[in-house]
């Protein structure tokens, strides 16, 4: 039985120019109906005490205090043994009463959507906070008892320069009392406002340099890289996300959420009206052994320590090195992959080219 759950809140108070996630503008009546539907799904679907719970979005903090209270109360029975309980929030909508409410319901980790500290870039991506507000929100969250904070940052934004990127990282490692940083490269999706406006990605070489700089700089300042996009202080890796990368089962709740249970992957409807009137209406795919072997490799190679070869054998009764002998020979010779201490992992050279390496495993 799954011991982790992802719950998707589709509402945002403002739609950002680059966004192509499953989300919609917050509307009180619609959100009330969504809360009723999601409470029903929680009660029908969740069965076990959970080890990790993650409420993402959208913007969970966009819900009103009362709506958030109903949602968190419905989750209470399932999180009594939870080791990590995360909620995503943004600076403007995460008021102090909501922070206290989260703490009261056992939330012990907050993931803040910061993206950049540069006023010019914040304007371009239509985020309304300032650097000072980010810092003050982090302090407010800590003051209210939640002491594990992650922030999201985006690189490759239009008009973002290497100097701006360096300034942001320096400011964060020097002054921000946080435990975890997730990095995202901007992808301009066709259906986002940026896509419709014809905004172009920055020079891919600059984007690669930004990633390489972060990879080098953050570990020197206390944030070690444990996954391709994630850096943390020692012991503060995201337990929930590690569960995905270890390919464990998880419940998916809410419209736009996905889950995986007992060799079946399901994607709940993304249509909020369908969700409210008919429930999750999930599209299910049964994963065969080959699918699962590939997905395990794909997820595990994102981790800095790589994939445990014994774990692979225990799960599938297949010897990894035998099954993928020709791919391994090619990628090890090219210096992209390495095997040591029972783990296969991407090398420094291979890490940025992981997608290309994975194609070989697909074939």
Residues in contact with ligand SF4 by the rule CB under 6 A: 12, 15-16, 19, 21, 23, 57-59, 90, 113
- CB–CB of 345/307 below 8 Å? yes
Q: For residue 186, give the nearest of 173, 171, 200, 166 by alpha carbon.
A: 200
| Shortest Cβ 133–ligand SF4 spacing (Å) | 15
Whichever of 192 and 238 has its CB closer to ligand SF4, that residue is: 192
DSSP state of 200: P
Q: How far is the CB of 362 from ligand SF4 (least distance, A)?
A: 30
In this structure, the number of other CB atoms found within 10 A of the CB of residue 223 comes to 23
**Rounded to whole angstroms, how far apart are CA atoms 316 and 330?**
23
Q: Give the gyration radius of the chain's Cα atoms.
A: 21
Least Å distance, CB 346 to ligand SF4, is: 28
Q: Are the CB atoms for 238 and 150 separated by under 8 Å?
A: yes
Q: How far is the CB of 10 from ligand SF4 (least distance, A)?
A: 8
Task: Indicate the residue among 51 and 127 with the shorter CB distance to ligand SF4.
Answer: 127
Pick 168 or 308: Cβ nearer ligand SF4: 168
Output 21 or 155, the one with its CB closest to ligand SF4. 21
Nearer to ligand SF4, 20 or 261 (CB): 20
Q: Is 65 exposed, middle or buried (0-12, 13-18, 19+ CB in 10 A)?
A: exposed
Q: Where are the alpha helices (DSSP H) in 234-362?
A: 239-245, 272-278, 289-300, 309-316, 320-323, 325-333, 354-362
Alpha helices in the chain (DSSP H): 28-45, 65-75, 96-104, 119-124, 131-143, 162-175, 193-197, 204-220, 239-245, 272-278, 289-300, 309-316, 320-323, 325-333, 354-362
- 229 HSE (CA, 13 A, CB side): 16
CB of 327 to ligand SF4, least distance (A): 36
Please report how close the Cβ of residue 300 comes to ligand SF4 at its closest, in angstroms.
Answer: 28
> In angstroms, what is the minimal distance from the CB of 288 to ligand SF4?
33
Could you tell me the smallest distance in angstroms from the CB atom of residue 29 to ligand SF4?
19
Nearest residue to ligand SF4, scored by beta-carbon proximity: 19
Nearer to ligand SF4, 54 or 351 (CB): 54
Nearer to ligand SF4, 59 or 108 (CB): 59
Contacts of 277 (CB under 8 A, 6+ apart): none
Residue 128 or 143 having the CB closest to ligand SF4: 128
Helix axes 309-316, 289-300, angle to 10 degrees: 160
Residues, the chain, total?
363
């Amino acid at each position: 039985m799954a011991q982790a759950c992802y719950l998707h809140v589709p509402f945002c108070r403002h739609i950002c120019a680059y966004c192509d996630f499953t989300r919609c503008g917050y509307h009180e009546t619609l959100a009330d109906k969504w809360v009723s539907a999601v409470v029903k799904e929680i009660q029908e679907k969740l069965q076990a005490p959970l080890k990790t719970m993650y409420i993402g979005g959208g913007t969970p903090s966009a819900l009103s205090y009362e709506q958030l209270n109903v949602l968190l109360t419905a989750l209470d029975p399932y999180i009594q043994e939870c080791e990590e309980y995360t909620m995503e929030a943004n600076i403007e909508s995460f008021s102090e009463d909501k922070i206290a409410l989260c703490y009261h319901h056992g939330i012990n980790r907050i993931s803040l959507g910061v993206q950049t500290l540069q006023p010019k870039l914040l304007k371009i991506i239509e985020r309304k906070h300032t650097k000072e507000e980010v810092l003050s929100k982090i302090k407010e969250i800590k003051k209210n008892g939640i002491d594990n904070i992650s922030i999201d940052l985006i690189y490759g934004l239009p008009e973002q320069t290497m100097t701006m990127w360096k300034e942001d990282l320096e400011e964060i490692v020097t002054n921000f009392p946080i435990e975890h940083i997730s990095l995202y490269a901007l992808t301009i999706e066709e259906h986002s406002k940026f896509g419709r406006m014809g905004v172009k990605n920055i020079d891919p070489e600059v984007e690669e340099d930004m990633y390489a700089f972060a990879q080098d700089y953050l570990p020197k300042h206390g944030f070690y890289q444990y996954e391709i996009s994630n850096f943390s202080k020692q012991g503060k890796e995201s337990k929930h996300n590690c569960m995905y990368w270890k390919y464990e089962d998880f419940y998916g709740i809410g419209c736009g959420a996905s889950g995986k249970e007992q060799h079946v992957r399901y994607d709940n409807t993304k249509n909020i009206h369908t969700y409210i009137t008919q429930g999750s209406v999930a599209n299910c795919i049964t994963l065969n052994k080959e699918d699962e072997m590939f997905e395990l490799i794909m997820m595990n190679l994102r981790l800095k320590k790589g994939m445990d070869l014994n774990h692979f054998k225990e799960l599938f009764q297949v010897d990894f090195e035998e099954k993928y002998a020709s791919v391994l020979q090619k990628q090890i010779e090219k210096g992209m992959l390495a095997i040591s201490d029972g783990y296969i992992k991407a090398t420094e050279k291979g890490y940025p080219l992981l997608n290309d390496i994975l194609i070989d495993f697909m074939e």
